[in-house]
Chains A and B, each alone.
Chain A
Amino acid sequence: MRTARQPANVVFPLIFPMLLLAVNSGGLQAATRLPGFPTDSFLAFALAVPFVQGALLATINANVEFARDIQTGFLNRLALTPVRGIVLLLGQLGGLMTIAVVQAVFYLVVGFAFGVRLASGVGGAFMLLVLEIVIALGFAALGSWAALRTGSTEAVQGLFPVFFVFLFLSSMNMPRNLIQADWFRWVATVNPVSYLVEAVRSLVIEGWNWEALGLGFAAAGALSLVGFALSAHALYRRLERT
């Protein structure tokens, strides 16, 4: 409800990835002529990126609010109710999942409007929503950890460029096997964000690529598990309540 009342928190994560998509798909269309490029539509190729960007943006915004709740004492108010700490954390993450689904539907609709058709069909769209939820959960949990650990809105905002470095050093703009620079290809290969992008992308342009999906879900799941464990620990330390 709070997020919905702050248009900047909703509109920006919807619009910004779409603008980047428009710029990239216009400027990099020529890349589709490279031998071995998996599709002749760069828009379809790049449509995976907004799903990851959007999840990042939404979770940063929401976790800045979460850090503000800590700073203002709002979290203490909630901590004084009989509700268990872990439920408070799940509530925070649950709200972000909802936003992630709304965003994913928006990106799908925009892609559809500009002629992108999912190779995996309607079932793939539902799978994409599930994947988006897990991706958003991973970023959200890491963002919540930063908020709980520091209680600082600035620290959470500081995560934004860090996450974006991971995104730019991934296979977001080029399939890994076509990246020319060895170091970049190596970084993109060890970067878990590549597998998030590739899993989404596989549903859009390939169909049901179980290996890509498996790796994507594994990367997102691992991020979620690590993030959730860190957040739960930070919450326990933050709410030192008896």
Chain B
Amino acid sequence: MERENSIEAHGLVREFKKGPRAVDGIDLRVEPGEIYGFLGPNGAGKSTTVHMLTTLLPPTAGTATVAGFDVVKEGPKVRKAIGAALQEAALDPFLTGREHLRLQTTMHGITGEERRRRSDELLTRVGLTEAADRKIKGYSGGMKRRLDLALALVHRPRILFLDEPTTGLDVQSRTALWVEVGRLAKEEGVTVFLTTQYLEEADVLADRVGIIDHGTIVAEGTPERLKSEISSSTVEAVPADPDQRGAVASVLERFGEQTTGYGPGSVAVQLSSPNGNLTEIVRALDAEGVVLSQLQIHEPTLDDVFLAKTGRHLEGSGDEEEQEQELEAEPAQV
């Protein structure tokens, strides 16, 4: 029974005629009821993987089963078992939310009273009951994404694919979607395969994370395990007197290796011990007579994992900050 909700891929490859190997030999297994976060920068191969697993694109090589069905040989059975909200909320601007649900339920063979009941239930669940009879062109990005999710759920799929479901959404809409996705997995046992370029999303939502870069999975595990395996905490200190920067560095280097990428005027070290003692660091700095204007401890992030595995920062982390700054200036539209 459990196998029915799982996703498995072995050596999955997709090569495009005049392009690179978008997916280059992926192996993965997603357990029933699990939220699997597929994290990677733009162009890493996330969407191509989703297209193959949802039967929209045949793999060039390798095998994959979804809900126990082979994605190549049993495409129609896979499609019956899955729901998918792909990268763009593909909605018709001239139809209303309710009309979209009517179309989607009809395509899945749900008719009559069951169709009406299911549509109402989903509209309520995604908070679109009041907007149900409005045309999509008047919906905000968050509303479109929520309707997209509702459409993916009309036939009660056992497995849900979400391809960057929160890209471009404001913080409020993003959080609302996370809550609903979490509820689906925890309360209804739906297996969720979620691609994202947002570190926070993978960290908060996913039970397990696969990090993909250039078509291959470079790391996989729970967010906590990945972070603890790769790095320990980083301590960043800013001396009150910039001339004391050297003294601060010499003290901190006793506790770990100096690292870069932090604020100007600050000194940062990655602690050699995973559970580095902040109290000892403060005492050592005090003993040297150093006065600090700031002292911070940074926990490792999935970006640190990505950096350690690829030598680069995850592109999306920069985009995300920029986007959030822009969104803060505008009122939420949900």
Contact = CB atoms under 8 A, between A and B. Distances in A.
Contacts of A75: 90
Nearest to A4: B94
A80 interface: yes
A79 interface: yes
B220 to A, nearest CB: 25
A241 B92 CA distance: 22
Given A1-B95, A81-B108, A73 B87 contact: yes
A198 B241 CA distance: 94
A5 B94 contact: yes
B171 to A, nearest CB: 25
B107 interface: yes
Interface string B76-118: 1011101010111011101100010000100111000000000
Interface stretch (B55-63, B270-278, B315-323): B55-63
A82 B108 contact: yes
Contacts of B73: 242
A75 B92 CA distance: 11
Contacts of B107: 78, 81-83
A98 interface: no
B54 interface: yes
17 contacts: A1-B95, A2-B95, A72-B90, A73-B86, A74-B91, A74-B92, A76-B90, A77-B86, A77-B90, A80-B54, A80-B55, A82-B79, A82-B107, A83-B107, A241-B75, A242-B58, A242-B78
A242 B90 contact: no
Contacts, number: 66
A240 interface: yes
Contact of A80 (B58, B84, B109): B84
A73 B90 CA distance: 5
A240 B60 CA distance: 12
Interface in A6-64: 6
Interface of B: 54-58, 71-73, 75-76, 78-80, 82, 84, 86-88, 90-92, 94-95, 99, 104, 107-109, 135, 151
Interface in A61-114: 69, 72-83
Given A73-B87, A74-B92, A242-B72, A81 B104 contact: yes
B94 A73 contact: no
Contacts of B82: 80
A6 B72 CA distance: 39
A242 B55 CA distance: 5
B164 to A, nearest CB: 12
A240 B58 CA distance: 7
Given A78-B107, A80-B79, A240 B90 contact: no
